[in-house]
Amino acid sequence: MNIAPFIFIGLFATFSASWFGFVFRSQAEIGRETQYMNPITGAVYPVAREGRAQQGTEVYRAQGCAACHTQQVRALSEGNDIVRGWGIRRTVAADYMLDRPALLGNVRLGPDLANIGLRKGTNDVVALYKHLINPRSVRGGEKSIMPLYKYLFEKRRASGTPGAVIMENEPGFEYIPSDDAKSLVAYLISLKSNGDVFEAPMPQPKAPSTNAPAGTNMTATATNAAAAPTTNAPAK
Amino acid sequence: MKTERVRMISHGVEEEPSVGTGEIPVIFFGLLAGLIFLSILYLDRYAGGFDNQVYRPYASHDILMADQPKTLGGEQIAKGKRVYEATCQICHQPNGLGTPGQFPPLDGSEWVNGPITRLIRIPVLGLSGPIQIKGEQWAAAMPAMGAALSDEDLAALLTYIRQAWSNKSGPVKVDEVKKVKGDIGGRSDAWTSDELLKVPETL
Amino acid sequence: MLMAWSSICWLAISLLVGAIAIAKIHYPPLLAGIPALTYGRLVAVQDSVFIYGFASQAAMAVALWLICRLGATTLIGSGVAVLGALIWNLGVAVGFVGILSGNLSPFEHFQFPHAAMPILLLGYCVYGVSAILTFWSRKECSMYPSLWFVFAGLIFFPWILATAMMTLWSPVVRGSVAPIVALWAGQNLVALWLGMIGLATIYYFLPKLTGRSLYSNALAVFAFWFTILFAQSSGMHAQAAFPAWIAGLSEITTILLVIPAAASALNWYRTLGNVDRTLGSAPAYRFMRKASNFYVLSVVVAAFAALRPVNRMLEFTIFQTGLAQLTLLGFFTFSMFGAFVYILPRVTQAEWPKPEFSIHLQGSTIGAALVIGGLILGGLVQGSQFQSLTTDFVKAVRSAAIPFGGIALFGYLILFAAQIAFLFNMLGLVCCSICGKEDVRR
């Protein structure tokens, strides 16, 4: 008896169930989500990156940064990412809504970058450039395994060009950041996942939530909530 | 080994393997059933009800909803307080108790702690006429102090007064303010107590 | 034949690239000035070329062989299949160049640039025409278990590939959905395409090479359906930006997968029973035995790593890479090696110049063990270091990456050398068949 058609039907049924559950349903529900507006403060999240930072997404992708750096923060109950200062809340799918492509990463050979924009600001641009040119030149990173991205810069004899970066161990030379380098750093500074989202309300629960509703003690949560969103994560 | 392979090569048609009739040990079914049972228990707690909005550590959508912010973060309270100091404090005093005989209290007032549909209307258009507040009769003559405030500022202000001093009511949201302003429409007269009491309690 | 040759070439390339990548971790200034050789791109090339250049092509070749043999028919449309293989190789080459020039995508197993994907899909469809025609014309009506697995793999692969193509590079699909689809597609690509063909190969060759019949049909049915059922949602729990149900479902199905794997293992080991000593040294057989051992090991280790406390420690470490390599480099690669060793002389009507395969067999085994062992142990070290908050991050990563990455580096180099030896052997085989040398022992 030819059982091939039956096998085909069986395979089709099981696989299409999986396809529907993971692909179709995700696109239908998560893919149609709109930006979240906090009903109390009116703040909208996520917001699209402005020009240079958006170009930086392309540079990040093209350099394969996602091979070593993740951009996902685990919940307090799942890992110690938040305690390490890598974020104030866990990341959810909505955080990547406007990222094209979403550069989540799989392995941490380097620290998580989901909230690097909270740890480094516009004052740290030169430090970031130096980190890219030679990660081992940064204090604390002497044994870093991160590759050198010197080719994103143009190396010249030092001539006092504004915006040029001078490395401590090469005082006679200056590195002019290329457009790619500038975009990449602008992108890094824009990386923040601390906006309010429905799926991860602040303050973050430490343990799996029990069935008791959390909103019973309102003044107490007000003081906790007062502390959480306004402090910056401790500098790493 | 070499002769074995030669034999196989020189065969015109090789024998293909056939299947035997061994049985499945019962233990497989037992294990499968047991593990599936345990899996269902596990999924009940850790799969978030298969809801695409439920992330760990939440176990269900209801618990997630219960955890949504009902009170303001520190920034919002500070903002509401600043608006209060600039706009309302002159009459209603920093302690929210007002001045007896002149300006009514906000602390403990049923108008403040009651339905927000009525509360939002008060600063937008003002109050006039007799009104009962905390058991006392007042002759209201409040101008529309909140008419110039933005929706966000008004929401912050009203949330602040509803949670300041001894008040412990819920927040006022920006879209609720927008909705009420829309309902008011083009009206410009101050409210009277009777009109306010006729306003439905929910949006 | 073309497929086998090119697949092993790509394997060699992938291994060499992997070795360079790990070397760069040990000494970052190595080759730092060349943008095309930056670590991120090398890792992408290694993974993509392995999956598409070697693994998928080998799977396609072996699948065709199995259809022919188990259907008692000859290959229909061999020219079409070769055309498909050529288009496929073109796609892989386009992807290879694309990644090195910076046009890579960040999703694991789908890192080829968008331009390469339609070429691959086209190549597969052209090949698929030949596969379908051959299957259709089979004279043997009842389907041996291997054929079920082949059937499943051949159907699932274009489905997965097309889904990935349409969602991961699409302007319509948002960044919030793409990682979920990428994770699903990536896991299914390994488990339900490569895994299926790998299982088909072992189910066929173990009885075949020992001249016995497969122990139990019922066990095979059980294993087939439950493997598919559980494998399609397994392996997705080591991420942190997805709804809870994905992780929960994945954890339980990864653990449940042990049961059908045990059924397969029982079937195989009962089939083998006491194996004749001389037969036990035949290279094809030894490859298959190792492949079956790797399979069982991969399922068990994956199930262990799915337990929540263990997953918490090992998420985002190189353990996950090691686990993937256990399936890919261990189970799948060895099953393909065994298949090639057996099939190629029959396809070319010639003899292996070096029939003992000692370099290839020993080298591959040692190399694979070093790579897999290095990555898994390194991941354990890295994970346990990460648990402690006082350990400096750079030190923690370094303590895992340098010593254990070094072990993996050796492994890759040994594997690479073994594949070069294999390529020389294959070259000799092709030469023998072209020269028309007769089999001396006939």
Please write the tens of the pLDDT for every residue from C301-352. Answer: 999 999 988 998 898 899 999 999 999 989 999 998 888 888 888 777 777 7
Q: How many CA atoms lie within 13 A of B50 on its CB side?
A: 8
Share of chain C above pLDDT 90, in %: 27
Of C43, C176, C395, Cβ closest to residue A30: C176
Give me the pLDDT at residue B188, please.
85
Q: Is position A207 within any domain?
A: no
pLDDT on residue B81: 83
Instruction: Check CB contact of A121 with chain C, cutoff 8 Å.
Output: no
**Residues facing residue A173 across a β-bridge:** A157
Please report how the helices C195-210 and C258-272 are oriented relative to each other, as an axis angle in degrees rounded to 10: 20
pLDDT in tens, A205-219: 766 644 444 333 333
| pLDDT for the residue numbered C31 | 58
- A–C CB contacts, 8 A cutoff, strictly below: 216
Does the beta-carbon distance from A31 to C104 stay under 8 Å?
no
With tokens 């390490």, the residue in question is A84
Q: Is residue A218 included in any domain, yes or no?
A: no
Residues in chain A within 8 Å Cβ distance of C232: 14-15, 18
Q: What ipTM was estimated for this complex?
A: 0.86
Note whether C181 contacts A27, CB cutoff 8 Å: yes
Closest CA in chain B for residue C242: B55
User: Looking at chain A, which residue has its C-alpha nearest residue C322?
Assistant: A107
Q: What is the mean pLDDT of residues B130-153?
A: 87
Mean pLDDT over the full length of chain C: 84
CA distance C437 to A12: 47
Residue among C85, C230, C213, C83 at smallest CA distance from C146: C213
Please say if the pLDDT value at position C12 is more than 70: no
Is the CB of residue A110 less than 8 Å away from at least one CB of chain B? no
pLDDT tens digit sequence for C28-79: 655 555 666 788 888 888 888 888 888 888 888 888 888 888 877 777 777 8
Q: Is the pLDDT of residue A112 over 50?
A: yes
Stated pTM of the model: 0.79
CATH number at residue A119: 1.10.760.10
Q: CATH 1.10.760.10 region(s) of chain B? A: 74-198
CB distance A70 to C311 below 8 Å: no
Q: How many CB atoms lie within 10 A of CB A141?
A: 16
pLDDT score of C227 more than 90 = yes
User: Would A135 be classed as within a structural domain?
Assistant: yes
Question: Does residue C280 belong to the interface with chain B, where contact is any CB pair within 8 Å?
Answer: no
B133 three-state secondary structure: strand
The pLDDT assigned to C275 comes to: 63
pLDDT at C2: 63
Q: Do A41 and B75 count as a contact with CB atoms less than 8 A apart?
A: yes
User: Residue B46's closest chain C neighbor by CA?
Assistant: C248
Would the pLDDT of B26 be above 60? yes
Q: What is the average pLDDT across C156-164?
A: 92
pLDDT at B145 over 60: yes
pLDDT recorded at residue C278: 55
Q: Burial of A147 by CB count in 10 Å (0-12 exposed, 13-18 middle, 19+ buried)?
A: buried
Please state, in angstroms and rounded to a whole number, the distance separating the CA atoms of residues C389 and C396. Answer: 10
| A5-13 mean pLDDT | 90
Interfacial A residues in 157-216 facing C (CB < 8 Å): 199
| CB spacing of B24 vs C355 below 8 angstroms | no
Give me the residue spans of the domains in chain C.
2-435
Chain-wide mean pLDDT for chain B? 82
Using CB atoms, pick whichever of A26, A214, A219 lies closest to residue B52.
A26
Chain B: nearest CA to A235, how far in angstroms? 22
Q: What is the pLDDT of residue C34?
A: 65
Chain A residues lying within 8 Å of C175, measured CB to CB: 96-102
Confidence label for B9 from pLDDT (cuts 50, 70 and 90): very low
What average pLDDT does this structure show over B146-168?
Answer: 85
The shortest C-alpha distance from C18 to chain A (Å) reads 13
Q: Chain A partners of C243 at a C-beta cutoff of 8 Å?
A: 30, 93, 199
Neighbours of C393 (CB within 10 A): 19
A182 CB-near residues (< 8 Å, 6+ apart):
A52
B-proximal residues of C, 239-258, CB under 8 Å: 242-245, 247-249, 251-252, 255-256
**Which residues are CB-neighbours of A155 under 8 A, at least 6 positions away?**
A173, A174, A175, A176
Counted domains in chain A: 1
pLDDT mean over C146-164: 91
Mean pLDDT of A164-175: 84
CA distance A104 to chain C (A): 7
- Using the predicted structure, report yes or no on whether residue C158 has a pLDDT greater than 90: yes
| Confidence at residue C436, expressed as pLDDT on a 0 to 100 scale | 62
CATH class of C2-435: mainly alpha
Q: Is pLDDT at B75 greater than 50 in this prediction? A: yes
Buried b (16+ CB within 10 A) or exposed e, B128-145: beebebeeeebebebebb
The residues, any chain, with a CB within 8 Å of residue A60's CB and separated by 6 or more, are: A66, A103, A184, A187, A188
Residue C156: predicted pLDDT? 93
B148 touches chain C (CB under 8 A): no
Neighbours of B7 (CB within 10 A): 10
Residue B1 with chain C: CB contacts under 8 Å: 278-279, 281-282
Residue among A92, A209, A229 whose CB faces B57 most closely = A209
Interchain pair C28, A144: CB under 8 A: yes
| Residue scoring higher pLDDT (C201 or B82) | C201
Q: Is the CATH number of domain B74-198 1.10.760.10?
A: yes
Asked whether the beta carbons of residue A41 and residue B68 sit closer than 8 angstroms, the reply is no
**Residue A109 at interface with chain C, using a CB cutoff of 8 Å:** yes
Q: What's the token pair of residue C325? A: 């390599």
Inform me whether the pLDDT recorded for A182 exceeds 90.
yes
pLDDT at C442: 40
Q: What 3-state DSSP class applies to A225?
A: helix
For residue C230, name the pLDDT band (cuts at 50, 70, 90). very high
Domain that holds residue A131: 30-198
Beta A153-157 vs A44-45: how paired, if at all? unpaired
CB-nearest partner of C244 from B1, B23, B58: B58
Instruction: Determine contact: B6 vs chain C, CB below 8 A.
Output: yes
The predicted model gives A27-34 an average pLDDT of 85
**Three-class SS string for chain C?**
CHHHHHHHHHHHHHHHHHHHHHHHHHCCCCCCCCHHHCHHHHHHHHHHHHHHHHHHHHHHHHHHHHHHHHHCCCCCCHHHHHHHHHHHHHHHHHHHHHHHCCCCCCCCCCCCCCCHHHHHHHHHHHHHHHHHHHHHCCCCCCCCHHHHHHHHHHHHHHHHHHHHHHHHCCCCCCCCCHHHHHHHHHHHHHHHHHHHHHHHHHHHHHHHHHCCCECEHHHHHHHHHHHHHHHCCCCCCCCCCCCHHHHHHHHHHHHHCHHHHHHHHHHHHHHHCCCCCCHHHCHHHHHHHHHHHHHHHHHHHHHHHHCHHHHHHHCCCHHHHHHHHHHHHHHHHHHHHHHHHHHHHHHHCCCCCCCCCHHHHHHHHHHHHHHHHHHHHHHHHHHHHHHCCCCCHHHHHHHHHHHHHHHHHHHHHHHHHHHHHHHHHHHHHHHHHHHCCCCCCC
Query: Percent of chain B scored above 90 by pLDDT?
Result: 6
Q: Does B10 score more than 60 pLDDT? A: no
**Structural contact between residues A105 and A91, judged by C-beta atoms closer than 8 angstroms:** no
Coil, strand or helix: which one is B121? helix
